Chain A
Amino acid sequence: MLLFAAKRIVRALLVILFATFLVVALLSLAPGSLAVTLLGDAATPESIADLEAQLGIDKPLWSQYFGWLGDAVQGDFGTSLRTRQDVLDAVWERIPVTLELAFLALAIALLVSVPMALAAANRPGSLIDRVSTFLASVGLALPAFVVAPVLVYFLAVKAGVFPVSGWERVSEGAGENLRHALLPAIAVAIPEIAAFQRLLRTDLDSTLHEDFIHAARARGMSRKYVLWRHALRPSSFSLVTLAGISFGRLIGGTVIVEAVFSLPGLGSLIAGSISARDVITVQGAVAFIVITYVVINTLVDIGYGFLDPRVRRESVR
């Protein structure tokens, strides 16, 4: 198990190196000089050269990358061109919002989709299967920019159960924090619920045809017990993978929902920085997302070892 984990971690480091290189490279590969774009009409050859030197983009790509990497490992992701704020501070400030949103959305998605999939797979073709699968299809087809305003309209504006927008820190009370976080989290969770349900439903269906399921039923175990205790775990490999991918995606991908609910998250930071051409902030924030994403997927990989004892054994061989 230790060797298995060590291998995964080495692989993760390589992925992080490669991905951050792409982040640095892509921005310097963008057409035109960044300095010209930033300075606009006021550009003079001297000011352009000055800014290029300041940004380090006058140097060759490999030197740019190692310069950036060397600073980054010391925790220096640069200073925002727009706000003059330290990029790491800016990311750090916003990450709790995004992380909470992603965690909450993922938890909601799993708590809803797993029982839905189990109920559907229990009796294929039954009413509950068809309703559950239909709802999942609807959820998949609904983009967040449709779901979010609808939720706001009914649950916040009409019913008044939730605030329309805004954010409260956990330090100002967990209840208030949750009240603000729940609606955006549901909006983010709905497409995830749908994807999770479809995937787990399909995997359960093939597991339920296995001999060991028949054998458990032949021992007189109830359908519910067989589903939860015998079928769920061997069926959840793809789900765990997808949930890991989703979580990584949600860290950077809740822009629209953050915008609708005016949440001070990572998504809105990146969106704002892109429109302001704040390259340094975008680099830092994207690098942060990449690292989070890789770390989570590595944890997922290691998690397989807990799901399936055979994975642990194979790694030792």
Chain B
Amino acid sequence: MTVSRPQPLLSVADLHTWIATDSGPVRAVDGVTLEVAAGEAVGLVGESGSGKSMLAKTVMGLLPDRAGTSGSVLLDGVDVLTASEKVRQSMLGPKVAMVFQDAGRALNPVVRIGRQITEGMVRHLGISGSEARERAVALLTEVGVPDPRRRLSNYPFQLSGGMRQRIMIAIALACEPDLLIADEPTTALDVTVQRQILDLLDRVRTTRGMGLVLISHDLGLVAGRTDRVAVMYAGRMVEEGPTDAVFDSPQHRYTEALLASTPSLDAPRARRMRVIEGALPDPRRPPEGCRFAPRCGAADAACGVPGADVLRDGVLGHRHACVHPVPLSGVGVPAGALAPADETRS
């Protein structure tokens, strides 16, 4: 056998996802390429509207009927965009599972917890209902739900938010997926519970050797918990690389601004927190070239050229889509200080 690069678990290539509206298609994901290897943890970061959740929904086949897609999403070698409904359903659970943002809304209020955990196992693993219940008890124990046997007959409203999210995670783990997609799994929770849930995700991932895509608007949340991070802006991927490297030396101006807008107690008071001026571009009519350019202090005419925002290799294993990348030493330099006007370039 020839030794080749191992096939990635998830391979998204040139994915476009759009939603038809009366005023034209909303280009939610616009040419994104992303790979996740088996057992790898990847952070997917961007502000709301950046397309990160739509990317997850595309992988899970949860797009509304008005949505369209192009490109490919290979899950263990099978393109979920073209696979039959039956094939796709057979992969949801055993191959990939998803933890939703708000477990209070993602659990059916009128169906007992037990059924919501076991139904997937009965369908995908071909085991009996009673065997599935035994497994559910073990799963609830694993995710730290006390008194698991009694919880099975509870309804979601009888449990706290943190417990619900643990149950959501147990449901996702039920069919032992190779890849777990967690879409803002802690946004709806109290700060004290957030850390517990993230630690739980970390633990189950390492013990099971599972791949993880952790979606968040918060770079800091992804920092210590992922191997690689991908930053999205207005449907495009703007930077991608090893998490530490992206953190220590962001090269895309947007990543830099995003990091600077994260509150930090360590930073000098004057620059403790910066706001990114402006708003996301209209997703129906995104600007040509770099979509962040209208909000970027370093932007010039070169940024508006179509194709200006292709990913290019940077240093330290990054890839970024910036015409004027942040100089390596210039992490702390305010973006505006570099802003070159057109006439300064020949």
Specify which of A125, A225, A310 lies most central, judged by the most chain B CB atoms within 10 Å of its CB.
A310
Per the bound structure, the CA–CA distance linking A212 and B93 in Å amounts to 15
Q: Which residues of B contact A275 (CB under 8 A)?
A: none
A218-B107 in contact (CB<8A): no
Of B21-29, B84-92, B232-240, B249-257, which stretch is located at the interface?
B84-92
Q: Is B208 an interface residue (CB 8 A)?
A: no
A211-B106 in contact (CB<8A): yes
Q: How far is the CB of A140 from chain B (nearest CB, A)?
A: 26
Q: Which residues of B contact A222 (CB under 8 A)?
A: 89, 123
Per the bound structure, the CA–CA distance linking A123 and B65 in Å amounts to 9
Q: Is B43 an interface residue (CB 8 A)?
A: no
Q: Is A216 an interface residue (CB 8 A)?
A: yes
Q: How far is the CB of A313 from chain B (nearest CB, A)?
A: 7
Q: Which residues of A contact B102 (CB under 8 A)?
A: 211
- Given A308-B110, A309-B110, A313-B157, also A220-B89 (CB < 8 A): yes
A307-B123 in contact (CB<8A): no
Q: How far is the CB of B70 from chain A (nearest CB, A)?
A: 22
B62-A216 in contact (CB<8A): no
Q: How far is the CB of B170 from chain A (nearest CB, A)?
A: 12
Q: Looking at the complex, which one of A212, A223, A225, A234 makes contact with B106 (CB distance below 8 Å)?
A: A212
B92-A310 in contact (CB<8A): no
Per the bound structure, the CA–CA distance linking A124 and B66 in Å amounts to 10
Q: How far is the CB of A48 from chain B (nearest CB, A)?
A: 62
- Given A218-B98, A219-B92, also A310-B157 (CB < 8 A): yes
B123-A234 in contact (CB<8A): no
Q: Is B127 an interface residue (CB 8 A)?
A: no
Q: Which residues of B contact A215 (CB under 8 A)?
A: 98, 100, 106-108, 168, 171
Q: Is B124 an interface residue (CB 8 A)?
A: yes
A214-B92 in contact (CB<8A): no
The 8 A CB mask of B110-135 against A (1 = contact, 0 = none) is: 11000010011001100000000000
Q: Is A59 an interface residue (CB 8 A)?
A: no
A219-B97 in contact (CB<8A): yes
Per the bound structure, the CA–CA distance linking A124 and B111 in Å amounts to 25
Q: How far is the CB of A315 from chain B (nearest CB, A)?
A: 14
Q: Looking at the complex, which one of B61, B91, B108 makes contact with A230 (CB distance below 8 Å)?
A: B108
Q: Looking at the complex, which one of A125, A219, A229, A233 makes contact with B120 (CB distance below 8 Å)?
A: A219
Q: Is A130 an interface residue (CB 8 A)?
A: no
Q: Is B60 an interface residue (CB 8 A)?
A: yes
The 8 A CB mask of A300-317 against B (1 = contact, 0 = none) is: 000000011110010000
Q: Is A179 an interface residue (CB 8 A)?
A: no
A124-B65 in contact (CB<8A): yes
- Given A219-B93, A219-B119, A221-B89, also A210-B65 (CB < 8 A): no
Total chain A interface residues with beta-carbon distance under 8 A: 26
A220-B65 in contact (CB<8A): no
Specify which of A215, A230, A313 lies most central, judged by the most chain B CB atoms within 10 Å of its CB.
A215
B110-A307 in contact (CB<8A): yes
Q: Which residues of A contact B57 (CB under 8 A)?
A: 214
Q: Is B109 an interface residue (CB 8 A)?
A: yes
- Across the interface, name the chain A residue whose C-beta is closest to B107: A212
Q: Which residues of A contact B247 (CB under 8 A)?
A: none
Q: Which residues of B contact A307 (CB under 8 A)?
A: 110
Q: Looking at the complex, which one of A124, A212, A309 makes contact with B157 (CB distance below 8 Å)?
A: A309
Within 8 A of A (CB), among B162-194: 168, 171, 174-175
Q: Which residues of B contact A219 (CB under 8 A)?
A: 92-93, 97, 119-120, 123, 171, 174-175
A220-B92 in contact (CB<8A): yes
Per the bound structure, the CA–CA distance linking A233 and B155 in Å amounts to 14
Q: Is B105 an interface residue (CB 8 A)?
A: yes
Q: Which residues of B contact A211 (CB under 8 A)?
A: 100, 102, 105-106
Per the bound structure, the CA–CA distance linking A220 and B171 in Å amounts to 12
Q: Looking at the complex, which one of B60, B108, B123, B124 makes contact with A218 (CB distance below 8 Å)?
A: B60
Q: Is A217 an interface residue (CB 8 A)?
A: yes
A308-B90 in contact (CB<8A): no
Within 8 A of A (CB), among B289-329: none
Q: Which residues of A contact B105 (CB under 8 A)?
A: 210-212
Q: Which residues of A contact B92 (CB under 8 A)?
A: 217-220
B109-A221 in contact (CB<8A): no
Q: Which residues of A contact B158 (CB under 8 A)?
A: 313
Q: Which residues of B contact A124 (CB under 8 A)?
A: 65
Q: Which residues of B contact A216 (CB under 8 A)?
A: 108, 116, 119
Q: How far is the CB of A260 from chain B (nearest CB, A)?
A: 41
B123-A221 in contact (CB<8A): yes
Q: Which residues of A contact B109 (CB under 8 A)?
A: 212, 234, 308-310
Q: A212-B109, A307-B110 are in contact. List 15 more A-B contacts (CB 8 A).
A: A123-B65, A211-B106, A215-B98, A215-B107, A215-B108, A218-B62, A219-B171, A220-B120, A220-B175, A221-B119, A221-B123, A229-B111, A230-B108, A233-B111, A234-B108
> 5 closest A-B pairs (Cβ-Cβ)?
A220-B92, A219-B120, A211-B105, A215-B106, A212-B108
Chain A to chain B contacts (Cβ below 8 Å), 18 pairs: A125-B65, A211-B102, A212-B107, A214-B106, A215-B171, A217-B60, A218-B92, A219-B119, A219-B174, A220-B90, A220-B94, A220-B120, A220-B175, A221-B120, A222-B123, A225-B123, A309-B109, A309-B155
Chain A interface residues (CB < 8 Å from chain B): 123-125, 210-212, 214-223, 225, 229-230, 233-234, 307-310, 313
